[in-house]
Structure 1
């Protein structure tokens, strides 16, 4: 989920000109625009007038309203159990 670290500081030069030493990695504008228009139902004008903080807050609110748990992340054991369940489903 966007919100934690929208701007990610980098210490080394990235390939493709995304960021340079000591710079800030570029925002994923295309993904942000797609979710703002498609998920949040914003108009392009609303998206371009919003700050990244406002966009993040709106996405967080949307996900919380849908019941998504934004606290912490998946543990390794949870991931491995989910992966095993997925692989069983593909084999069966």
Structure 2
């Protein structure tokens, strides 16, 4: 099971969600650039995969939701879950109208 598994309604248009996804990736790579070696965008810029040594995170948006999942085993013990909280925080900051899934 992935360490990170998050899905919530973004409460914006798809175009706004795409921009917010781009901003989220910029924040995550800025904060954890040493661990993110590759950023691979989907053709339509609605999906992105971040990878590094022992690390992967995928994020995507659709008409209603933002989704993130990943595994960061190399960092879990080192940072005590801080990476998961930082990723979730970045998503929540960039998607301020988001509503948690019930």
Compare CA radii of gyration and give the structure with the larger one: 1
| Structure with the largest fraction of helix | 1
TM-score class normalised by the smaller sequence: 0.3 to 0.5
| Structure with the largest fraction of strand | 2
Structure with greater contact order relative to length (CA < 8 Å, sep ≥ 6): 2
